[in-house]
Amino acid sequence: MSKLKVKRVIIFKHGVSYYILEGTLKSSGKFEIEFKIDEMNDVLKSLFVLDTSKKGYISSISYDAALDTDQVLKSIMLNIPDRDSFSSLVTQIKGADVFLIVGGAKKISGKIMGIEYTEKLTKDEKITEKLLILHQDDGTITKYNFTEIRSLEIINEEIKKDLKFFLDTVIAGKKKDAKKIIINCESGGEDEVERNIFVSYIRESPIWKTSYRLIMSKQQALEQKCLLSGWSLIENTTNQDWEDIELSLVAGMPVSFIYEFYRPIFIQRPIIQPPKVLSARPTEIEEGLEMEKFEDYAMAEMEAKPMAMKKRAIASTTGARPPPAPGGTGGFGRMQSIMSDTEVYDKVKSQVKTQTKDLGELFEYNISNPVTIKRKQSALVPILTESIKAKRILLYNKNENDQNPNACLEITNNTNLTLERGPVTIIYDDNLAGEAIIPFLNKDDTRLLNFAVEQAIIINHEQKSENLTVHKVTFKSGYSYEYYFTNLMTTYKIKNKTDEEKELYLDHPKTYEYKVIEKPIEPEETANYWRFKITLKPKDAIVFKIKEQRENYSSIYLWNYSKEDLLKRVGFYVKKKFIESDIENLLKEIAELIKTLNDLRSKQEKLDEERNNMTDEQSRLRENISVLGDDSQSISLKERYIKKLSDQESRFEEINKELKLMDKKIKDLNKIIEEKMNSLSFP
């Protein structure tokens, strides 16, 4: 069987790879490829085979069924055990035409009738012999000892096929997770012509992983650039060696899925991980800060500008030049004694041969040098070497690190490449500076890489809020809305304990609906922060203040005011010139109506109280009358109680009439007040 060779592999970031294989063939033949069961869905849905010759063609593509070995073998008549295989086979093919070679070279043909067992006694033991019963072509029935049979050939083609299928299936079943695809190729009559067979498919594979090295010398730090070296980790998890293949790496996320039609479908249940509890971490005691040494940043900047102008004037008159950069002529630390920055870049660049291609939604790295990776092995492949813009800065975010800023590199992808996400090791002046993650970067994107914590810069922050007086009032639906500003003051106290000038990016969190109204310098804006870029002088301590403001309001239901309270608020509104005279007059009318309403409700409450007291009194009088006797004194008391009850009944009726009339007045008054409040709309 001919073999296919891997010629090209294209690895994507979404968990699949595209494989291109080639093989050569004369006359008709077969190619065999082996896959894991889980890979068959992807392979079968994407497999493409082409015979590039004029007359040659692919007749069929066969593959192992998605069945267990026992299930497959049920379809044939043979079942050969591991022990006594020959005798078991002979028993199962009774009636088959066979060709025997017995003894030295005796050739016999006939039909198998079965097996007979005979016992023989020897000097030491009794043994059982197996005899093959054969119906020979001349009609003779003959017995042959198994020990004399040298070979047996089955003439029946169906049985031969079943036997071969049984053996092939059993050996394939030894590799439980493997399935074969067989490509059947026909020559089309040109048996002497060598033909090229082209095969392609996709299969699940590990994603290619990117890692970077950012190398910066002191001279490059002054020039705000560094060397970016990118490497890709490739894993060959297939059963085929990759010998001098063309390798391409594609960045992007094309649509991809597994279409389940090779194996039976089972419902997948979610996997729930148990919670993990982190151990406690040690804490550090805060360093005391001498607050009197801090000066306001805005004032310090104003003082620094005249001094800087003066220094520039002196430098221009004297022709002074800046001092040379530390480290002499540049280079990467110890490497500088051997190579300059330019020589190091050229040497590393010469080792990387990659062509890139922008595919719209995707981006492709084509490795120009042939790549060899043995099966089940991995390799690091260089994919880029570029000089990119890079600047050392500090970044402070109180939500991430309360006291110290992060040391960062601000890099700009000024190359023609799209950079995939991956870890980066940062080397500064021939020493490890730290590690970071490079995010996905399109051309000209700028990102900050956090690689360390700068403990020599101490930052303390304080925040206070205050509510200002009412500055505006509106009315709607019976409510008054009084508007006032809330100020949020944040003070950052920053101390530079180093002997170097530092550039600090201060990320101040955006607060919902707050606007920055006072700040020492203008910030840049990110999605969630205001970014202030601050210059810290050596051994300096500054105060950086930010004031933010938001408009709030409180709502008051006018029905809840008394006349006096409402008139006080109206007087305040008039004094502050929040309302015009027509609104003032309307509010005063409402205040009078509310007073009248409150007076009516007060009278109503008193009448209700009187009526309730009378009801209690009448109950007491009736109880007293019921216990009095028929003597003269009792009769006199009864008459007095009865007269009192009669007087109370008259008063009870008067109260009911007054309450009924008062209810009507209150309802009418409520309606009037409601109409006036609804007409009260300002502004």
Q: What is the pLDDT of residues 593-604, one digit of tens each?
A: 999 999 999 999
Give the per-residue pLDDT at 325.
Answer: 37
Give the per-residue pLDDT at 8.
Answer: 93
The model's pLDDT over 180-197, given as tens digits with 9 standing for 90+, comes to 889 899 888 888 888 899
Q: Report the C-alpha gap between 118 and 663 in whole angstroms.
A: 125
Tokens of 26: 């004369």
Tokens of 524: 């840049």
pTM (predicted TM-score):
0.60
**Alpha-carbon Rg of the chain, whole angstroms?**
49
Which of 483, 271, 309, 364 has the alpha carbon at shortest distance from 11?
364
The model's pLDDT over 106-150, given as tens digits with 9 standing for 90+, comes to 788 888 888 888 877 777 777 878 888 888 888 888 888 887 888
Write out the H or E segment, with its range, that includes residue 267. Answer: none
**CB-based contact 25:184 (threshold 8 Å):** no
> Residue 640: pLDDT above 60?
yes
Given pLDDT bands bounded at 50, 70 and 90, which one contains residue 320? Answer: very low
Coil/strand/helix, residue 668: helix
Tokens of 643: 């007269």
Give the per-residue pLDDT at 516.
Answer: 95
Given pLDDT bands bounded at 50, 70 and 90, which one contains residue 307? Answer: low
The span from the first CA to the last CA of the chain, in angstroms, equals: 91
The model's pLDDT over 248-266, given as tens digits with 9 standing for 90+, comes to 888 766 677 666 655 555 5
DSSP assigned state of 208: P
Which of 94, 98, 101, 100 has the alpha carbon at shortest distance from 115?
94
**CB-based contact 202:257 (threshold 8 Å):** no
Q: Report the C-alpha gap between 566 and 587 in whole angstroms.
A: 8
> Residue 371: pLDDT above 60?
yes
Q: Averaged over 444-459, what is the pLDDT?
A: 92
Cβ atoms < 10 Å from Cβ of 272: 6
Give the per-residue pLDDT at 311.
Answer: 46
> Residue 19: pLDDT above 60?
yes
Compute CA 333 distance to the chain's CA centroid, rounded to the nearest angstrom: 39
The model's pLDDT over 330-356, given as tens digits with 9 standing for 90+, comes to 444 444 455 666 665 565 555 555 665
Helices marked H in 375-491: none
